[in-house]
Amino acid sequence: MTNQGNNLDQWYGHYADRTAGLAASEVRALFAVASRPEVVSLAGGMPFVSALPQDLIAGAFERTMRDSGPTALQYGSGQGMPALREHILDVMALEGIRGGVDDVVVTTGSQHALELVTKLFVNPGDVVLAEAPSYVTALTVFKSFQAQVSHVAIDEFGLIPEALEERIAALKADGRTIKFLYTVPTFGNPSGVTLTWERRLRVLEICRANNILVLEDNPYGLLYFDAPPPQAMRSIETDGVIYLGTFSKTLAPGFRLGWVLAPHAIREKLILANEAAVLSPSSFTQSIVSEYLSSVDWKAQIDVFRGVYRERRDAMLAALDDYLPDLSWTHPNGGFYVWVTLPENLDSKSMLPRAVKELVAYTPGTAFFADGNGRTNLRLSFCYPTPEFIREGIRRLSTVVNGELELLTTFSQTAPLRTVRPNENIISPPANLG
Ligand code: PMP
């Protein structure tokens, strides 16, 4: 018998089982408040698109409409425009990746690529291996296809190969089907950590030996601040790696253009899945981006972004050193994020309302785990606010963290009262602060 719905949603009983993974996060409402101008948001991952001169895009737009307007306004191929795919090869070559124009499938951002790849491979109950912590909206995709996400630990050098081997062995012993390993090996979201070259080789070796595909998601690789990072995993291994790229961070996310470079057979299925989902990725934005890449010094523009984000990373690390010296955090050499570890008895999720009240926002660590871990972590992004706001945001955060620590000290000092008034639980610290 079908569920008859409820007062809030008449169609409650009609949803597919897979939508169980689509629950809105508890912190969503807070983020609405956090987007007010008086709040310093270190929560989102919005690229600083104001560093992209608008006239560069306006020029590309005008030339596109003048020279190939009807094509730009028409449906296109499910694989994406050949001219853009040529440019994508040049972009990937910067990270050591070689491929042919036919190997690239253009998608509506790399987010859509994540959805398509998962749709192709994951049956309900299949295992997806993912770094701990992992990109939050990838986890949402995996959950929405009813995958079981199994996390593998990382350290400051990225995925730990021994942990990967152990996890695979345990899952296999359990009779589980592992479909792929999802990883952001370069300037990870949320960790900021980069997988070393030696570990890239080792992780690929382990996956090859166990017949496990690697899904390499690389939005940040070109946004390095010091030396370039190790080359992409896809540059080492072609048959066992599906590579995801995007123009969202090196150009602008509003174009919604990403791509997949996949082994041949997978690519064919991806094109069919892309057609089923969107018919063709936007001809309009593909044409403009293609024109931009043909006529503008796009590498110089990426250098501009690197400079902007380097300055902001420096501002964040300096402010953390100055205001929160007792915490620990990662030291990213590129990308957008710093991953902070709080003292053991603090809880980043329950602390967030207080932070927003103090006019600073961050993303609680639990968002990046499928298994409820991450309570003592938080992600700070330095991509959007100016260095001055970043510093002020960290100062406000230090007020919140120190306030929480003081509260804990107070409660632990009054703890004996509990024995005097056993029914009065108002003085007991909440369980999640323990
Ligand atoms: N993967 C990772 C790791 C990301 O950080 C993001 C954006 N935050 C995406 C994929 C999706 O990016 P887009 O769809 O804009 O290409």
For 78-95, write each residue's pLDDT tens digit. Answer: 999 999 999 999 999 999
pLDDT category of residue 33 using cuts at 50, 70 and 90: confident
Query: Percent of the chain scored above 70 by pLDDT?
Result: 93
Domain ranges of the chain: 22-45+301-411+418-433, 54-295
For 200-241, write each residue's pLDDT tens digit. Answer: 999 999 999 999 999 999 999 999 999 999 999 999 999 999
Q: How far is the CA of 14 from the centre of ligand 1 (A)?
A: 31
Burial class from Cβ neighbours inside 10 Å (0-12, 13-18, 19+) for residue 41 reads buried
Q: How far is the CA of 275 from the centre of ligand 1 (A)?
A: 21
Query: Percent of the chain scored above 90 by pLDDT?
Result: 85
Atom of ligand 1 nearest to the CA of 112: 14
Bridge partners (DSSP) of residue 241 are 214
Q: In the prediction, which pLDDT does 420 show?
A: 33
SS3 349: helix
- Whose C-alpha lies nearest to ligand 1, atom 11? 111
pLDDT higher than threshold 80 for residue 30: no
Q: In the prediction, which pLDDT does 7 show?
A: 75
Q: In the prediction, which pLDDT does 3 show?
A: 55
Distances (CA, A) of 422 to 418, 425, 427, 428, 432: 5, 7, 10, 10, 20
Q: How far is the CA of 110 from the centre of ligand 1 (A)?
A: 6
Q: How far is the CA of 258 from the centre of ligand 1 (A)?
A: 9
Bridge partners (DSSP) of residue 216 are 183, 243
Q: How far is the CA of 219 from the centre of ligand 1 (A)?
A: 6
Range list of β-strands (E), 312-368: 328-329, 337-341, 360-361, 363-364
Q: Considering the chain, what is the average pLDDT of its residues?
A: 92
Q: Ligand 1 test: best mutation among 48, 108, 111, most atoms within 8 Å of CB?
A: 111
Q: In the prediction, which pLDDT does 415 show?
A: 52
What is the amino acid identity at position 7? N
For 377-403, write each residue's pLDDT tens digit. Answer: 999 999 999 999 999 999 999 999 999
* CA-closest candidate to residue 365, choices 323, 394, 329: 329
Q: Ligand 1 test: best mutation among 110, 195, 368, most atoms within 8 Å of CB?
A: 110
Q: How far is the CA of 111 from the centre of ligand 1 (A)?
A: 6
Q: Which CATH number fits domain 22-45+301-411+418-433: 3.90.1150.10, 3.40.50.300, 1.10.3720.10, 3.20.20.105?
A: 3.90.1150.10
For 281-310, write each residue's pLDDT tens digit. Answer: 999 999 999 999 999 999 999 999 999 999
Q: In the prediction, which pLDDT does 408 show?
A: 87
Exposure letters 48-62 (e unless 16+ CB within 10 A, then b) = beeebeeebbebbbe
pLDDT category of residue 421 using cuts at 50, 70 and 90: very low
Atom of ligand 1 nearest to the CA of 188: 3
Phi and psi based region of residue 175 (left: phi greater than 0; alpha: psi -120 to 50; beta: remaining): left
- The Cα 127–Cα 207 span in angstroms is 14
Ligand 1 pocket, residues with Cβ under 6 angstroms: 45, 109-111, 135, 184, 189, 217, 219, 246, 248, 253, 258
Q: How many CB atoms lie within 10 A of CB 242?
A: 23
Intrachain domains 22-45+301-411+418-433 and 54-295 with the same fold: no
C-alpha Rg value of the chain to the nearest Å: 23
Q: What token pair was written down for 71?
A: 């094509």
For 352-384, write each residue's pLDDT tens digit. Answer: 999 999 999 999 999 999 999 999 999 999 999
Q: How many CB atoms lie within 10 A of CB 221?
A: 28
CATH architecture classification, 54-295: 3-Layer(aba) Sandwich (3.40)
Q: Ligand 1 test: best mutation among 131, 135, 184, most atoms within 8 Å of CB?
A: 135
Q: How far is the CA of 409 from the centre of ligand 1 (A)?
A: 40
Atom of ligand 1 nearest to the CA of 45: 8
* CA-closest candidate to residue 195, choices 164, 239, 150, 238: 164
pLDDT higher than threshold 60 for residue 430: no
Q: In the prediction, which pLDDT does 221 show?
A: 98
pLDDT category of residue 419 using cuts at 50, 70 and 90: very low
SS3 90: helix
pLDDT category of residue 417 using cuts at 50, 70 and 90: very low
pLDDT higher than threshold 70 for residue 12: yes
Exposure letters 134-158 (e unless 16+ CB within 10 A, then b) = bbbebbbbbbbbbbbbbbbebeeeb
Q: How far is the CA of 218 from the centre of ligand 1 (A)?
A: 8
Scanning 215-297, the segments in alpha helix (DSSP H) are: 264-278, 283-295
- The Cα 396–Cα 100 span in angstroms is 50
pLDDT higher than threshold 90 for residue 35: no
